[in-house]
């Protein structure tokens, strides 16, 4: 059994500038671009935790709360919020920041499931995770309900 690691061990932060090619005709960022950023930071976060290559098993939920416009900065933060035998749930939050006014707002929240892959390209066990802060405790304690929801969703669709 692998020793559990604190959630802070996997915490990853990225900053991205919203540029014109990343936006639609309303000058707001394409949702698909945000999804690409989310998938990238989730993979990095899971690799930090698992110390192995990972693959995206599912994007469990994506809530677009508000938009970001050209010139805004996106601040992405991700953490492994719970683990299974070979899988990791990664929580990603995205905030937009207007650097001219300082306004910061939540734009997107997402949960993804990443699977640790061994050198044989087969799923490999991962260490557990434990929370340290109140926010981490809330994420960790609600993890089993999200896992059950994913399981039920797979049963319904298969």
Determine the Cα–Cα distance for residues 18 and 146; give it in Å rounded to an integer: 31
Q: Does residue 69 contact residue 18 with C-beta atoms inside 8 Å?
A: yes
Residue 152: its pLDDT value, please?
82
Contact 117, 124 (CB under 8 A): yes
Please write the tens of the pLDDT for every residue from 99-124.
999 999 999 999 999 999 999 999 99
Tell me how far CA of residue 140 lies from CA of 35, 77, 112, 156, in angstroms. Answer: 23, 16, 14, 25
pLDDT digit string, tens, across residues 63-91? 999 999 999 999 999 999 999 999 999 99
CATH of the domain at 142: 3.10.129.10
C-alpha 109: how far from chain center:
8
How many domains, the chain? 1
Buried b / exposed e over 93-117, threshold 16 CB at 10 Å, is bbbbbeeeeeeeeebbbbbbbbbbb
The pTM (predicted TM-score) of the whole model is 0.93
Nearest to 92 by CA among 39, 48, 52, 134: 39
Residue 81, domain extent: 5-157
């Amino acid at each position: 059994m692998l020793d559990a690691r604190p959630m802070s061990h996997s915490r990853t932060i990225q900053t991205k500038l919203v540029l014109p090619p990343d936006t639609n005709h309303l000058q707001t960022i394409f949702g698909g671009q945000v999804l690409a950023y989310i998938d990238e930071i989730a993979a990095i976060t899971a690799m930090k935790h698992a110390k192995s290559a990972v693959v995206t098993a599912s994007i469990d939920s994506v809530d677009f709360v508000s938009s970001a416009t050209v010139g805004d900065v996106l601040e992405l933060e991700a953490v492994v919020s719970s683990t299974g035998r070979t899988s990791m749930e990664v929580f990603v939050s995205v905030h937009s920041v207007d650097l001219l006014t300082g306004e910061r707002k939540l734009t997107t929240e997402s949960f993804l499931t990443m699977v640790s892959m061994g050198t044989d390209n087969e799923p490999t066990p991962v260490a557990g995770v434990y929370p340290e802060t109140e926010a981490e405790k809330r994420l960790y304690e609600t993890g089993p309900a999200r896992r059950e929801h994913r399981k039920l969703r797979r049963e319904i669709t298969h």
